[in-house]
Structures are given as structure tokens and as C-alpha cells.
Chains A and B, each alone.
Chain A
Amino acid sequence: MPLAHTPVTAADAAVHPSTLRQAQGSGRTDCVPAAPAGSRRALLRAGAALGAFGASALWGMPAIAQRAKPLQGTTLNVALFSTAYSKLLRPWIAEFEDSTGARVNFDTPGFPVYNQRTDLELSTKGSAYDVVNVTFIYSSRWINSGWLTPLDDFIANRNLTPADFDINDFLAGARAPETGADGKLYGVPWTAEVTLAAASRFDVLKSAGLAFPDTLDDFSRAVQTAHRKERAAGFVTDNHYGWTFPPFLQAFGGDVFRKAPHDLYPTLDTPEAIAAADYFARLLRDFGPDGAVSYTADQSLQSLKSGRSNLGIQGQIYLSQLADKASSKVASTTAWGAVPRGPAGRFPGSAVHGLGIPVGSKNAQAAWQFIAWATSKQITQRAVAAGYGSPTRRSDMQSPVFAERQRVNGYDIARLSSEAIDLAARQGHMKYRTVAVYPQIDQQINKAIELIVSGQKSAAAAMQQAQIGALAELKRSGIAV
């Protein structure tokens, strides 16, 4: 919340007309009384102006926060992984601290480290953290194991949550994974990532007479055409295959489980799954850059940004950075589109992360105030204005500033993203990802694709091995399949 920079408006109470006139006229955000100094009227005006400033500064804060430093002496331990949002948030936290008196320890390790640390901490129901990121693939495990605090009562409490917070402004598709089996909300989404496709050198494809690939056949043709043109590899993707492979798996008609979340029998060795694995691994093995199997999300992005790879499948947070003229050599030649459609349809991946409160937190109310602040309209609008590319509030996605920035080279990345989120919510094809055992299966998929790409096993043998491994992991988890 931009506490110190909120302009004075007519809505602010007890503002003398002269004060308001001056504030409106100057366009400044502070107020200067117009009457001669020292008079009784001037004192009253000054008092009114101060009140108006205070009211405007605390605009959007819940009633409890409008008491002077209501969280004085409270230390909040907040853990989020290192991401664009956490980087934007960090310098603004001082404003939250100034207005509430709370002290915030903001810890943002890398994604895998964050997940391991938080998984361990939550499982002990400890009080080390007051606010945590509810990681998508852990959401079911953390929520349904009772490790997080339901947020509905906080949201409904007008003393703790400002009226304009409006939980329904968050996309329904983004709220769904943060909701427990009990129907309660356990995390307020701050990012909704979807997998998109991009061609960093679409000019190469265009000159070969190809349109942006729509189907799997189109996609393999485009990759083949682009390979080794202008010293670029045809295809690259993040080696977290448990995230980048399922859109292909599902497009071929396969899936991870028979019917998640109710029937968790793994289906990694079906003919469709084997065909999908073969197709996907072939893209990487035959048309990927040297060492493609070791490329992390950042490496893939750099490879695309520098034009060393042409087509890529990745989250939109990464792919939208191809438009950044300051760091991307391919800003003017990139095209974006949905992930390719297969015989079974189109299945873009979507992942939502939210802020939640561990059940062991000793400062749940203060923690909620932090979450309400960090996901307030004021903060998310400010983040979008600063370049944030993955908002979860519909109002942000529809804002002119966001829409304008997401339109690049004639492609509307915001529209592609929201369509993908809506499609995922409608088809429910991401349910496989939020079951408690998915981290184990995710690992099996990673290994299987690596085995195929590196030529250690055929697609059939690798997927059969993944199936056996997945069954063993499920058995170890105590899940009867």
C-alpha cells in the first residue's frame, strides 16, 4: 500500500475546501493550510489537514491497522521464494513496517531450497514462519494435512480486512488450488503462471512460410525447420519436465494419474504416455541445444533471449521477458502462442502460488495483515505498474497499463495467459499436480525424460520404469492403488 504517496481526494474526511483546492491545484500529495499561521482557525485547519493526511495515508488499511502502530513489537517471519514479485515487494515492506510498527524478516531463498525448508517446517507445525508461500505442487499436501490456517474468517472480518480487498477479484482459477477439501481458502494467490509457447526467431519460420504452430504436427515441423537456422537450436525447455512435459502428455491423450485426485493409479506407461514421451524427448534430443537436458528455466530463457534457441515451451513469466528490449536480442522477432494442441486437445500447464499462514504461527492476525497488504489492490497495481507480469487480480489483468505492456509485436500475452488459466479451470486438467504425492511422481517424470533424451533408455522402457517407480513411491506413501 503506498502509504506516503496517496493523493488527497474529496473523499477524505474533514478536509477544508481551501486545503482541498490547494492539493488539487498543485497536484501534490501533501496538504498546506491556507489561513494565517497562529490563528484559531489556522490551528483547526492544520488539525483537519493532518487528520486528512493520516486518513489518506492509511487508505485501504483495516480498522485495526489504523490505530497508531498496532503491531508495534511484533516480528513477522515471512518466507517466499526468490521471484519477480518478492523482489518488487522487498523495498516496499518498509512502508508496511512504518504504518503498523511490525518488523518483517523477509526470507526469499531459491525455489527448491524454499520448498524443502518450508515443507520441513510446516510438517513440524512449528512457529518459525508467520507467512509462507503456498507452493502449487505442495498445496494439497500442506492444506489437507492441516498445516495451514484457513483465511476465510480473516477475510470476512472488517476489522482486519479492508472493504476494497475483494477476494472475488482474484481469478477463480487461481483461488481453486489454494482451496482445501473443506472449501476454505488457505492462500491468497499472488501469481498464476501458465505454460505458453514462443518462437524467438519467428521471422525464420515466417520466411519458411510457416505460421505460429497450433498443433503438435505443426510444432514438430516448425522445430525441424528452425533447427540450425541462424545458429539457433530448434527447441529448448526447462529441465523440470514434471512441469514442461504434461501439456504434451495430455495433448496425446495420456495423463499422470488415472483420474486425479480420486484415482491416483499412475498412467505413465500407457501407449499415449509413451508416444508423448517419445515425441517430447525427440524434440530435445534431435533439435535441442547441446546439453539441453541440463538446462534450467533460467538457462532456457537465456538461450531464447540470445537467439541461440528458437522455439520454447515455458511459463509466461519467463517467456514474456523475451519482449524486454534491454536484455533480449529477440524482442522484435518473438511470437507467442498457446501450447500445441494434440489429438486430445490443448492442455496448458498452470501453477498458482499464494500467501498463507502456517498453523503454528504465533502471530496469525498480524500475518494476515501482512498478506492483506501484500496482495491488496494498491500493492498489486503498483507491482503491475512496475512491470510485474503475472497478476492474479482480474482488475490488474484488465488494467490498461498491463494490457498495453502485454501486447508485443501484435501478440497479446495477457490474453493468452488468462485464456490458459480459464481453460485449466474449466477442464480441471491440472488436478494431477496438486495431489500430495505429486512431488514423487514429478521426480519420476524428470528422470524418465532425462533417460530418453540422453539415450539411456527407449521411451517405452523409461516410462515403464517411471511407472514402477511411481507405484513404489505411492506404496511408500501408504496410498492403496
Chain B
Amino acid sequence: MQLPPALAPALPAGEAGQHYYLPSRTAAPAAAPGWQRQQRRAYGWGLYPALIVLALVTLAPLLTLIVVSLTPLSLTDPAGTFHFRDPLGNYRQLLQDPRFVHSLWVQFQLSSVGVTLQLLTGLGIALLLHGRSPVLGAVRSLFLIPMVLPPIVVALIWKILYTPDISPLHQALEALGWPLRSLIANPDTALWAVVAADTWQWFPFTMLMVLAALQMIPDDPLEAARMDGANRWQLFRFIVFPHIRAVLLVCALFRLIDSFKAFPLLYVLTNGGPGTVTEVTNFYGFIQAFNFSFWGYGSAIALVMLAGVFALSALVSRLGRDGGDDAR
């Protein structure tokens, strides 16, 4: 039996024309499409278990979420509230719920400012730490610590820093004659205090990704530009930045999606307050679902968030593709 032409070139010279025993084949070249069909089918069957597991662990909860969001399900009366008499009732309520609408605005501020700061800080520090010295290597490792700490530990560190009574930061500033009022109890600063803590925790992610990208930049164009008299800014603007742009977009995408899941910092530092100034959408959804047991309403909030994350991901991916085209 001869091998199908598609496989023949892959074999060592001299073996392609030989006859091999292949159990599913009876005739050579003429039967090739059938063999390929069977092969594809076999691959398909092989994929089914994974697809079924994937469907169970991913799609089933998502479908449940969608179904529940169409009901007024409350756990205090699950039997009486699991019905579809007004399937869009939760979504209508969301539009009229000022706390939900406000949470979207808070989410926008937290995500946009937080991610931008993380990208800028991560990029700046990566540029400073890009080099081959062992000292730089050690400093790079130190900067990674916030990212690997459990989120609740990060929250506790910042809770101490932001509590005037026990905070070394507040005490040092007071000793210097610059007393600082509590940042998390002040509605004008609470959100930015959370953003600062979030930036501290997550700028190392961007730093790490950018450092990896910087190491992939070939030396030749940099040397050529230097010989042509390019200054540092021009090197960054015209050579380094185009190389790391795609990585920055990936970082932005990851951090943006993650910022929608911000929880431990808010839970520990401000509990969404004072009032609702730091109450982001998922925190509000959490309160509705888990403090009040309104699963239908909580699911509707979760779905709106999911739609927002998808839309943003698509947007950032498109920007990334456009960026890639530009770079080419």
C-alpha cells in the first residue's frame, strides 16, 4: 500500500514509494479523500470528550446565568421566584437603578485610570531595568513581589497604609509637618487610593511582559539608528515602541479584563464606600446576589458586565491588529 501523497513528502527518501500497512485503507491514491475524511472523523471523535467537558464547565454555567437572569429568582423563595413571566424585568430594572448606573461610571474610572497607570508604570520601570547587570536582575525580582502576593494580603498591606492611626505613611508625613487625612474615608480620594493600590499590585505584570519584549528587539536597528545620530527618545519612538506595541496591547487587554474583576481591594479597603464612591459593577452584583440573595438580578448584572468585557476585548483586539498592520 502506498502512502497518501500528503504524507509522502514527510517520509525519508526511498520510503515514500514503499508499501505500508495502514488498516483503514485498501486502495491508494484514488481512495485518498475517503481516508482523509475518516482521519478527520477520527480526530473529531477524539475531540468530543474535551468538547463535552468544555461545554459542561464553560457553556453550562453561562447558559444557567442567562436563564437565571431572565427570572426574578431570589433564594429566599426559589420555587416562587423561578419563573419567566417578565423575562426582561431585571434588565429594565437595571436601567432604572441609579446605584447600578453609578457603578458603571465607577468601573469605567477604575479600569481606565488604573490600567493606564499600570501600563505607564510597568513600561517606565521595564525600560529602566532593561539590561544585563546582576543588580538589575535582583531589582527586577523585587519588583515582581506585589504581583505574586495573594490579593487579600495586598489589600491588608494597603489597609494598614491607609489607616491614619497605624499607618507608617501617615505618621511619617505628620512628622514632616504634612499631615494627611484618611484617603479611603474621603469621597474625593477613596477611588484613587484604590487605583494606587491596584497599580502597585499589577504594574509588574506589564513590566515583565515588556522586559521580555525588549529582549527580543534585535541590536542591529538600534545600533544603526545610534550611528545615524538618533537620540534616546527617537530610539524609543521609532524602534523600541513599534516592537513592544503589540505586547502593550495584550497587557492592556489582560489588565482591562482583570480590572472588571477587582474585588479584594475594594472589599477590604472601602467596602464600596464611603457611600458608593468605590462601588464597581461586580461589587454591586456581588451584594445583590450574595448579600441579598437576588440571583436573578445579580445574574443580569453579571451578563451586562460580560457583554461589556466582550465588547472591550473585541475593541482592544482590533486595535492590536491595526497596530500590528501599522507596525508592518
CB within 8 Å for A120 and B290 given contacts A293-B185, A455-B187: yes
CB within 8 Å for A450 and B99 given contacts A436-B76, A477-B76: no
Chain A residues within 8 Å of B74, by CB: 476-478
Binds A, one of B77-85, B106-114, B196-204: B77-85
A294 lies within 8 A of B76 (CB): no
CB 8 Å contact bits of A439-481 with B (1 = contact, 0 = none): 1100100110011011111000000000001001100111000
B72, B80, B274, B294: the one within 8 Å of A451 (CB) = B274
Question: A454 CA to B186 CA in the complex, in Å?
Answer: 6
Chain A residues within 8 Å of B277, by CB: 456
B185 lies within 8 A of A294 (CB): yes
Chain A residues within 8 Å of B220, by CB: none
Question: A472 CA to B99 CA in the complex, in Å?
Answer: 11
B164, B187, B292: the one within 8 Å of A440 (CB) = B292
A476 lies within 8 A of B77 (CB): no
A469 lies within 8 A of B99 (CB): yes
A454 lies within 8 A of B75 (CB): no
Question: A123 CA to B163 CA in the complex, in Å?
Answer: 37
Chain A residues within 8 Å of B297, by CB: 476
Flag whether A299 is at the interface (Cβ < 8 A). Answer: yes
Q: What residue of chain A has the Cβ atom nearest to residue B290's Cβ?
A: A116
Flag whether A58 is at the interface (Cβ < 8 A). Answer: no
Flag whether B299 is at the interface (Cβ < 8 A). Answer: no
CB within 8 Å for A439 and B291 given contacts A294-B270, A456-B187: yes
Flag whether B317 is at the interface (Cβ < 8 A). Answer: no
B81 lies within 8 A of A294 (CB): no
B163 lies within 8 A of A145 (CB): no
Chain A interface helix/strand/loop/mixed: helix
CB within 8 Å for A289 and B77 given contacts A294-B185, A439-B291, A443-B291: no
Q: List A residues 296-319 near B (Cβ within 8 Å).
A: 299, 302-303, 306, 308
Q: What residue of chain B has the Cβ atom nearest to residue A119's Cβ?
A: B293
Chain B residues within 8 Å of A299, by CB: 163, 165
Question: A456 CA to B276 CA in the complex, in Å?
Answer: 10
Chain B residues within 8 Å of A290, by CB: 164-165, 181-182, 185
Flag whether B97 is at the interface (Cβ < 8 A). Answer: yes
Flag whether B273 is at the interface (Cβ < 8 A). Answer: yes
Question: A450 CA to B271 CA in the complex, in Å?
Answer: 11
Flag whether A38 is at the interface (Cβ < 8 A). Answer: no
Closest beta carbon of chain B to A447's beta carbon, Å:
6
Q: What residue of chain B has the Cβ atom nearest to residue A142's Cβ?
A: B76
Among B81, B270, B271, B276, the one with the most A-chain Cβ atoms within 10 Å of its Cβ is B271
Closest beta carbon of chain B to A308's beta carbon, Å:
6
CB within 8 Å for A476 and B294 given contacts A436-B76, A451-B274: yes
Flag whether B287 is at the interface (Cβ < 8 A). Answer: yes
B77, B274, B287: the one within 8 Å of A443 (CB) = B287
Flag whether A141 is at the interface (Cβ < 8 A). Answer: yes
Closest beta carbon of chain B to A248's beta carbon, Å:
19
B275 lies within 8 A of A450 (CB): yes
Chain B residues within 8 Å of A472, by CB: 97
A291 lies within 8 A of B163 (CB): yes
Flag whether B234 is at the interface (Cβ < 8 A). Answer: no
A456 lies within 8 A of B184 (CB): no
Flag whether B93 is at the interface (Cβ < 8 A). Answer: yes
Q: List A residues 114-128 near B (Cβ within 8 Å).
A: 116, 119-120, 123
Question: A306 CA to B163 CA in the complex, in Å?
Answer: 15
A120 lies within 8 A of B75 (CB): yes
CB within 8 Å for A292 and B185 given contacts A123-B76, A447-B273, A454-B275: yes
Chain A residues within 8 Å of B99, by CB: 469
Q: List B residues 135-190 near A (Cβ within 8 Å).
A: 162-165, 181-182, 184-187
B275 lies within 8 A of A451 (CB): yes
A123 lies within 8 A of B78 (CB): yes
Question: A308 CA to B167 CA in the complex, in Å?
Answer: 14
Question: A145 CA to B97 CA in the complex, in Å?
Answer: 28
CB within 8 Å for A291 and B184 given contacts A120-B290, A447-B273: yes
Chain B residues within 8 Å of A294, by CB: 162-163, 182, 184-185, 269-270, 273-274
Question: A299 CA to B182 CA in the complex, in Å?
Answer: 14
Q: List B residues 242-293 near A (Cβ within 8 Å).
A: 269-271, 273-277, 287, 290-293
Q: What residue of chain A has the Cβ atom nearest to residue B99's Cβ?
A: A469
Closest beta carbon of chain A to B112's beta carbon, Å:
22
Closest beta carbon of chain A to B190's beta carbon, Å:
8
Question: A119 CA to B286 CA in the complex, in Å?
Answer: 13
Q: What residue of chain B has the Cβ atom nearest to residue A116's Cβ?
A: B290
Chain A residues within 8 Å of B292, by CB: 439-440, 443, 473, 476-477
Question: A453 CA to B186 CA in the complex, in Å?
Answer: 10
CB within 8 Å for A293 and B77 given contacts A119-B293, A303-B165: no
Closest beta carbon of chain B to A52's beta carbon, Å:
52
B164, B187, B275: the one within 8 Å of A291 (CB) = B164
Closest beta carbon of chain A to B77's beta carbon, Å:
7
Chain A residues within 8 Å of B81, by CB: 478
A456 lies within 8 A of B76 (CB): no
Q: What residue of chain A has the Cβ atom nearest to residue B277's Cβ?
A: A456
Q: What residue of chain A has the Cβ atom nearest to residue B170's Cβ?
A: A290
Question: A454 CA to B93 CA in the complex, in Å?
Answer: 28
Chain A residues within 8 Å of B291, by CB: 116, 439-440, 443
Question: A303 CA to B166 CA in the complex, in Å?
Answer: 10
Closest beta carbon of chain A to B96's beta carbon, Å:
9
A293 lies within 8 A of B274 (CB): yes
A141 lies within 8 A of B76 (CB): yes
Chain A residues within 8 Å of B76, by CB: 123, 141, 145, 436, 477
Question: A457 CA to B273 CA in the complex, in Å?
Answer: 13
Chain A residues within 8 Å of B182, by CB: 290-291, 294
Chain B residues within 8 Å of A141, by CB: 76
Question: A308 CA to B75 CA in the complex, in Å?
Answer: 43
Closest beta carbon of chain A to B83's beta carbon, Å:
11
CB 8 Å contact bits of A269-292 with B (1 = contact, 0 = none): 000000000000000000001111
CB within 8 Å for A450 and B181 given contacts A290-B164, A472-B97: no
Interface residues of B (CB under 8 A from A): 72, 74-78, 80-81, 93, 97, 99, 162-165, 181-182, 184-187, 269-271, 273-277, 287, 290-294, 297
Q: List 27 A-B contacts (CB under 8 A).
A: A119-B293, A123-B76, A123-B293, A289-B165, A290-B165, A290-B181, A291-B184, A292-B185, A294-B185, A294-B269, A294-B270, A294-B273, A299-B163, A302-B165, A439-B291, A440-B291, A440-B292, A447-B275, A454-B274, A454-B275, A455-B187, A456-B275, A469-B99, A472-B97, A476-B93, A477-B292, A478-B80
Interface residues of A (CB under 8 A from B): 116, 119-120, 123, 141, 145, 239, 289-294, 299, 302-303, 306, 308, 436, 439-440, 443, 446-447, 450-451, 453-457, 469, 472-473, 476-478
Add 14 more A-B contacts to A293-B185, A456-B277, A476-B72 (CB < 8 A): A119-B75, A119-B290, A303-B165, A436-B76, A451-B274, A454-B187, A456-B274, A476-B93, A476-B294, A476-B297, A477-B292, A477-B294, A478-B74, A478-B80
- Return the 10 tightest CB-CB contacts between A and B, nearest first: A291-B182, A123-B75, A454-B274, A291-B185, A451-B275, A450-B274, A290-B164, A293-B185, A450-B273, A116-B290
